């Protein structure tokens, strides 16, 4: 078990946030590693039909954007009742792969991430996230290897499903971190999001997130298999994705609450 006071350094850095930290205690802390953002523009009408009631498409340059985000996480901690953090077996380190877009709440005009799917290599994390956060997690067979030059080889295959949902890629960051992205830029729109939005039990719900500004690098990637978008009714355009890379980032998550 780990004391909470030793884990909260970045919670004091809030000037980059679009709104204050949420009231109440954070629920989980994680570190995200070797993360690729791969994004494509999608016509607004095509994306809007896939969203639940209460959420509108958030746009940049007149388009919705869909992102495929592979990474692996470690230092996963859950806040316990006695003000210490615990790690459950099988959840300390595992791969995750997200399919996401960007939305606005019709209730609060809050801008956030909407997840179509989250594949994970930990069955306990899948069950826990579906139960606590009510998010569409799926169990997958996943692995990642990092070459000497920093290139990540990433493979994922969703399990317990009737159709093939695979992802395979090689990717790496290019050079130095460029510094925090500037508001009004595409990279800021795609990455600097401090909540997720979803619909559960007939309500729009928000899950707050906190982290430092993303330490983004330019990236290159060879995506040889990408079946996630099609599995969720999204047709990608015939163009290369917009790519960004981040080596690591500590993230805090709060439990879902009604968006109000």
pLDDT in 10s for each residue of the chain, 260 residues: 443 443 457 899 999 999 999 998 898 899 999 999 999 999 999 999 999 999 999 999 999 999 999 999 998 888 765 556 555 555 578 999 999 999 999 999 999 999 999 999 988 888 878 887 889 999 999 999 999 999 999 999 999 998 999 999 999 999 889 889 999 999 999 999 999 999 999 999 999 999 999 999 999 999 999 999 999 999 999 999 999 999 999 999 999 999 99
Tokens of 198: 């979803």
Distance, in Å, from the CA atom of 75 to the CA atom of 32, rounded to the nearest integer, reads 9
Tokens of 3: 């004391």
Q: To the nearest 10°, the Cα dihedral for 119, 216, 57, 41? A: -90
pLDDT of residue 76: 87
Distance, in Å, from the CA atom of 223 to the CA atom of 231, rounded to the nearest integer, reads 16
pLDDT of residue 6: 39
Distance, in Å, from the CA atom of 40 to the CA atom of 54, rounded to the nearest integer, reads 24
- 142 forms beta bridges with 156
pLDDT of residue 40: 98
CB 114 within 8 A of CB 55: yes
Find the helix or strand (DSSP H, E) in which 12 lies.
none
Instruction: State pTM to two decimals.
Output: 0.92
Distance, in Å, from the CA atom of 212 to the CA atom of 10, rounded to the nearest integer, reads 7
Q: Which phi and psi angles does 33 have, rounded to 5°?
A: -130, 145
Of 242, 210, 209, residue with least CA distance to 223: 242
pLDDT of residue 22: 94
- 218 forms beta bridges with 174
Distance, in Å, from the CA atom of 207 to the CA atom of 255, rounded to the nearest integer, reads 6
Rg (CA), the chain: 17
3-state secondary structure of 174: strand
Tokens of 254: 């709060």
Contacts of 7 (CB under 8 A, 6+ apart): 29, 77, 85
CB 10 within 8 A of CB 210: yes
């Amino acid at each position: 078990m780990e004391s909470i006071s030793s884990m909260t350094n970045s919670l004091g850095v809030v000037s980059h946030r679009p709104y204050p930290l949420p009231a109440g205690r954070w629920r989980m802390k994680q570190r995200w590693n070797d993360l690729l953002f791969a994004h494509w523009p999608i016509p607004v009408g095509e994306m809007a039909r896939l969203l639940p009631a209460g959420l509108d498409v958030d746009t940049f340059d007149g388009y919705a954007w869909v992102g495929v985000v592979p990474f692996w996480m470690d230092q996963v901690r859950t806040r316990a009742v006695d003000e210490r953090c615990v790690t459950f077996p099988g959840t300390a380190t595992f791969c995750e792969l997200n399919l996401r877009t960007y939305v606005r709440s019709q209730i609060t005009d809050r801008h956030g991430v909407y997840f179509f799917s989250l594949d994970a290599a930990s069955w306990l994390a899948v069950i826990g996230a579906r139960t606590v956060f009510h998010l569409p997690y799926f169990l997958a067979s996943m692995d990642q290897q990092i070459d000497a030059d920093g290139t990540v080889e990433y493979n994922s295959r969703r399990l317990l499903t009737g159709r093939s949902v695979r992802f395979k890629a090689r990717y790496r960051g290019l050079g130095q971190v460029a510094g925090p992205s500037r508001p009004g830029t595409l990279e800021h729109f795609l990455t600097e999001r401090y909540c997720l939005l979803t619909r559960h039990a007939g309500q729009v719900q928000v899950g707050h997130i906190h982290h430092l500004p993303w330490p983004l690098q330019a990236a290159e990637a060879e995506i040889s298999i990408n079946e996630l978008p099609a599995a969720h009714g999204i047709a990608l355009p015939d163009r290369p994705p917009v790519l960004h890379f981040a080596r690591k980032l500590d993230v805090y998550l709060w439990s879902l609450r009604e968006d109000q």
